[in-house]
Amino acid sequence: MAETALTTHGLSPARPDGWEGIAADWSSDQRAFKNVSWGKAMMWIFLLSDTFIFSCFLLSYMTARMSTTVPWPNPSEVFALEIAGHHIPLILIAIMTFVLISSSGTMAMAVNFGYRRDRVKTAVLMLVTAALGATFVGMQAFEWTKLIMEGVRPWENPWGAAQFGSSFFMITGFHGTHVTIGVIFLIIIARKVWRGDFDVGRRGFFTSRKGNYEVVEITGLYWHFVDLVWVFIFAFFYLW
């Protein structure tokens, strides 16, 4: 994997641009995506598959919401908080969204420093990203707790269609699981960066392959995807 990413020996530097370039790459031997490592290609294809999973979840939720005969609870009211005597709709979700989008920013910075082979800054920024992600999950746990205290259950809720609770717990739960997995991976990779694995070419425990800083970018791809999915969940579940 290390070698596929960073060495381009033998690849002719002058390749045609645009559609001609795409046609030339796809009709060439060895690789369809020149300069794309195996790991990055796999992550992109996985994300494509995962997109279908989230799309199916969201479409199912929309079908349920549109076809229900019982009124759907008003998200602005359900997700409102009383803060210092003020009734603010959607405030928690707004903060959560802000936190998650910010974590995408720190992730992008980590990728940048990774390519400069700046061991310390990369690791620190990845840990900051992980911390923001963990904060997001924590706030989600708070949100779940609040709703459960108010009587929302997967099978019923005090305000209307039962599918509200079902869809809410299922979709945010599935997304939260993705964030949690992302946080775990960020911490693992940050540890490897911090330890200098990618500078000395240390071999992976399971794969016995040498890693390199590109792993930071691959983790970043996943992280940005999870953010992007959240934007859709935010739009379709909370703002609708």
Q: Which residues here bind other proteins, judged by CB under 8 A?
A: 1, 3-4, 7-12, 26-34, 36-38, 41-42, 45-46, 48-50, 52-53, 55-57, 60, 63-64, 67-70, 154-155, 161-163, 165-166, 170, 174, 206-210
Closest distance to other proteins from the beta carbon of 163 (Å): 6
Closest distance to other proteins from the beta carbon of 164 (Å): 10
Residue 10's CB is within 10 A of a number of other CB atoms, namely 6
The Cα 52–Cα 212 span in angstroms is: 30
- 112 neighbors 72 (Cβ within 8 angstroms): no
Residue 149 CA to its chain's centroid (Å): 28
CA distances from 4 to 24, 115, 213 (A): 20, 15, 12
Nearer to other proteins, 56 or 239 (CB): 56
| Tokens, residue 38 | 């195996």
Nearer to other proteins, 7 or 85 (CB): 7
Nearer to other proteins, 43 or 127 (CB): 43
Closest distance to other proteins from the beta carbon of 65 (Å): 10
Give, as one character, the DSSP assignment of residue 210: B
Closest distance to other proteins from the beta carbon of 202 (Å): 13
Closest distance to other proteins from the beta carbon of 213 (Å): 17
Nearer to other proteins, 33 or 142 (CB): 33
Nearer to other proteins, 113 or 230 (CB): 230
- 99 neighbors 140 (Cβ within 8 angstroms): no
CA-CA-CA-CA torsion sign (137, 140, 146, 151): negative
- The number of C-alpha atoms within 13 Å of 1 and in the hemisphere containing its C-beta is 20
Closest distance to other proteins from the beta carbon of 197 (Å): 15
CA distances from 122 to 88, 113, 192, 204 (A): 37, 5, 11, 19
Nearer to other proteins, 23 or 120 (CB): 23
